[in-house]
A and B are shown apart, each in its own frame.
Chain A
Amino acid sequence: MAAPTGAAARAASGQPLVQLKDVNKHFGALHVLRNINLEVTKGEVVVVIGPSGSGKSTLCRAINRLETIDDGDILIDGNMLPSEGKALARLRADVGMVFQSFNLFAHKSILENVTLGPIKVKGMKPAAAKELAMGLLKRVGVDNQAHKLPAQLSGGQQQRVAIARALAMKPKVMLFDEPTSALDPEMINEVLDTMVQLAKEGMTMIVVTHEMGFARKAADRVIFMADGQIVEQATPEEFFTNPKSPRAKDFLGKILNH
């Protein structure tokens, strides 16, 4: 688990873990993803940033095919994303997803939320799944809440459980779509700390977030999106201090003066 940080890992392996080639997506007449080309290597942490409606969520959702694409290819670890059925379900398990609104299974206990995937998708024995789940819950610091229902936990705790639930599938890459923007301010850091920890352990991550602290601390690369296009990519330091495109300058000006 204690792999080297992103940049070193990137140098080590040749093939990208996530690869998008000329991806296009429309919602009716609206062109939400325009010719997206993106490669994320193993162990890399990519932060996606951009104004509302620029297609960040759609990009995340396309990568694990919660949203279909019109044309282009999406490959996970060299495998083309299947379009339907069991093969898709299996490949989806390789891509962990953490949602803005947590989406913990409301009628299941915290522990069951984490064990469900390993038992039902991977066919793991309940006892082994429980052990795995308790380990993960401990790692995100909510093991003492294992038998409660999601609604009994704070937002920050729920989001950490959601991270544990995704990790339980042993994903190759984790997608985070604004994981802290539904949280009260005092809970944001506990979730970000968990994510920073995950990044340090070598997890490949694509994170939609406006938390610049996280980007500076954990990201190898920042991708700036606007109007469905990748407008600019750079290291966090470079992007935040010296953005190149007028769109990025304008956007950063807005969030910094906020």
Chain B
Amino acid sequence: MDSLSEYFQSYLTALETYDVVAALWVNIQLTFWAGLGSLVLGTVLALMRISPVPSFRWAGAAYVNIFRNTPLTIIMVFCILVAVFQLQLNLSSDFDFNFFLWAIIGLSVYHAAFVCEAIRSGVNTVPLGQAEAARAIGLSFLPAARLIVLPQAFRGAIAPLGNTLIALTKNTTVATVASVAEAAGLMKTMIEFRPDVIMAIFATFALGFVVIVIPIGLLTTWLSKKLAVAR
């Protein structure tokens, strides 16, 4: 009993020294901005992949196949080593904020490939007749996509989009290779300096992510039921 309360005490001192919540907050911010970035880019890619122009379709498919099949860590390292150090492409004069922005870009370009495929699976739930009817009343490709096909495709794609968002949330830990001070980096530091409470540290971070991710899953499940298109 004593040893247990002792263990708990040392765990508390570890929590006092290191700000776990602040680190997790960085992951939440990365998730939010990269989620937005990958949604925009992924939507553009999906439009390219369903467009009537063959070269757009080809370029969209090439993008997806390249980025979906490249490990995220490599994309992140590329952003830092090549974009920042070699090419000196600085997005901000603030050293840390520059890395933060590049981490968002790396996460966005990677997850956009998955968002594109999720939206495309949503497009497949929309009967061909919807697009034909849109064309028949005189809408050209982009208005037909914007007004008729995509709104229905998004509703059909909420579940796979939710899965991509959950993967993104967990993948924000890779931002540590871009030296962004986020949770995985902090965990590594804490384990290094406080090996006495290593199990509790693992549990803390695991729980932190579970608490962030579970609402996403619940929300997307609820939304996909609520917004389902009745046919």
- A116-B147, A120-B147, A151-B231 are known contacts. Are A107 and B152 too (CB-CB below 8 A)? yes
Complex Cα–Cα for A96 and B136 (A) = 7
- A116-B147, A120-B143, A151-B231 are known contacts. Are A105 and B138 too (CB-CB below 8 A)? no
- A99-B129, A120-B143 are known contacts. Are A107 and B229 too (CB-CB below 8 A)? yes
Complex Cα–Cα for A88 and B138 (A) = 8
Is B230 an interface residue when CB atoms closer than 8 A count as contact?
yes
Task: Name the interface residues of B117-165: CB closer than 8 Å to any CB of A.
Answer: 127, 129-130, 132-140, 143, 147-148, 151-152, 155
Chain A residue at minimum C-beta to C-beta distance from B133: A103
The answer to whether B136 touches A66 (Cβ under 8 A) is yes
Least Cβ distance of B117 to chain A in Å?
22
Complex Cα–Cα for A140 and B224 (A) = 34
The answer to whether A89 touches B133 (Cβ under 8 A) is no
Taken residue by residue from 146 to 165, chain A's Cβ proximity to chain B (1 for < 8 Å, 0 otherwise) reads as 00010110000000001001
Complex Cα–Cα for A106 and B152 (A) = 8
Task: Name the interface residues of A69-111: CB closer than 8 Å to any CB of B.
Answer: 85-86, 88-90, 92-93, 95-97, 99, 101, 103-107
Complex Cα–Cα for A162 and B137 (A) = 11
The answer to whether B138 touches A107 (Cβ under 8 A) is no
- A66-B135, A151-B231 are known contacts. Are A85 and B140 too (CB-CB below 8 A)? yes
Among the listed A85, A88, A99, A152, which residue makes an inter-chain contact with B133, where contact means beta carbons less than 8 Å apart? Answer: A99
Is A169 an interface residue when CB atoms closer than 8 A count as contact?
yes
Complex Cα–Cα for A85 and B141 (A) = 8
Residues of B within 8 A of A169 (CB): 137-138
Q: How many A-B residue pairs have CB under 8 A?
A: 69
The answer to whether B137 touches A93 (Cβ under 8 A) is yes
Taken residue by residue from 92 to 131, chain B's Cβ proximity to chain A (1 for < 8 Å, 0 otherwise) reads as 0000000000000000000000000000000000010110
Residues of A within 8 A of B140 (CB): 85-86, 88-89
The answer to whether A89 touches B148 (Cβ under 8 A) is no
- A86-B140, A151-B231 are known contacts. Are A103 and B127 too (CB-CB below 8 A)? yes
- A66-B132, A99-B129 are known contacts. Are A107 and B139 too (CB-CB below 8 A)? no
Least Cβ distance of A207 to chain B in Å?
16
The answer to whether A92 touches B136 (Cβ under 8 A) is yes
Residues of B within 8 A of A93 (CB): 137-138
Least Cβ distance of A151 to chain B in Å?
4
- A66-B132, A99-B133, A151-B230 are known contacts. Are A105 and B139 too (CB-CB below 8 A)? no
Complex Cα–Cα for A116 and B140 (A) = 13
Chain A residue at minimum C-beta to C-beta distance from B151: A107
The answer to whether A105 touches B148 (Cβ under 8 A) is yes
Q: A103-B129, A106-B230 are in contact. List 19 more A-B contacts (CB 8 A).
A: A66-B135, A89-B135, A90-B138, A92-B135, A95-B136, A96-B136, A97-B133, A101-B127, A103-B133, A105-B130, A106-B130, A107-B152, A117-B138, A121-B139, A149-B230, A165-B137, A166-B136, A166-B137, A169-B138
Where the two chains meet, the residues of A that have a C-beta atom closer than 8 Å to any C-beta of B are 64, 66, 85-86, 88-90, 92-93, 95-97, 99, 101, 103-107, 116-117, 120-121, 149, 151-152, 162, 165-166, 169
Can you give 16 A-B contacts (C-beta < 8 A)? A64-B136, A89-B140, A90-B138, A92-B135, A93-B137, A93-B138, A99-B133, A103-B133, A105-B133, A106-B130, A106-B231, A107-B229, A117-B138, A121-B138, A149-B230, A169-B138
Top 3 nearest A-B pairs (CB, nearest first) are: A93-B138, A151-B230, A103-B129
